[in-house]
Structure 1
């Protein structure tokens, strides 16, 4: 799932003079696997916040960006310093990349899914479901909707993965729809921490996020039904008691 380039950066301040001018170098490793061929080593030199020269292992030499940088690049490319810097891709990057993969990037946390309904923002559809996914790591995740087993591609909006500030992430996907009798709607989550996709089916009876107005209508309807049953039972009991107290007079 970790498909995009990750960056391991180490900053060095190499020179600072009394009058405030500074020269420093910035080194970093870009990688998407632990293979040496998938790693790039970059070394950049700055003077007073201006980058004047850079070595890129994909290019194989120094490149200058200012007059001073061009002169330094020519000098470094013609000496033993270039050989030393080329070796950094293996001696510096490879070791650090393997450490990251083994001790950090291999760790993961399974997502927690909550599926609930809410009021749709528009009148295009009368209903909307929200699939909220919490506490997962690493960041990259795929959330999709299934309707009777088929993936839904329209009327779906999703947020970006949002950092919680504690290494975990959350994201939310919204589905606007028109209900159909007997249908099955599910939220499908795919993540590096899961051996197989996590599918959560929508159960209207377990929804605690029904809009307040709808809950009020439901409560009033249920109260009316209960009151009607009580009155009917009371009437039935009254009728039976009156029936027992009657005196039957025979007729000729």
Structure 2
């Protein structure tokens, strides 16, 4: 996710929930996990020295050393990889200074996929994420009523609370805040739908010529 407002709104909408994204962001470690790549990178002609009767976590092992790493293979059948210790300055699959130990062969991780998952590729699975399309100050007289048109780029998943729109009137010349008001978005609308809110800025009678009114949305995110 980026640092722009939309990305941050998406992160806030997810909260501490489980979420899924593109599989392309999953680290790829072929030289450590793929049989052929592992052999080409660390074994065969890559080995320059062999030491028998090494020990890894109490297991008898053979140490096969080369310019990239020290690799420890179990001395007994089925001769599994027990440890890979990269040499200083070596980078493999984007990893450096690694000391990896392999264990729990032929065992499942026991991980159960969560059922309540946010899918960023389908924004309709998120909580409401309102963005401001436009601000209307034509009703700013006495009293000064301002309104905004909104669009929900999220969904209808329950949130911590209603989204809040804050209107702020600022003197364009001095930057001084002349007044503000807030309005909650009720009821929520579905994905890609539009709605509107309005409120009254107190202490203001008509919008000064040099005044600017902005509206910002606060979307509380996942409950």
TM-score where L is the length of structure 2 = 0.34
Q: Which has the higher contact order (CA 8 A, sep 6+)?
A: 2
If you compute each CA radius of gyration, which structure gives the higher value, 1 or 2? 1
- TM-score scaled by length of structure 1: 0.31
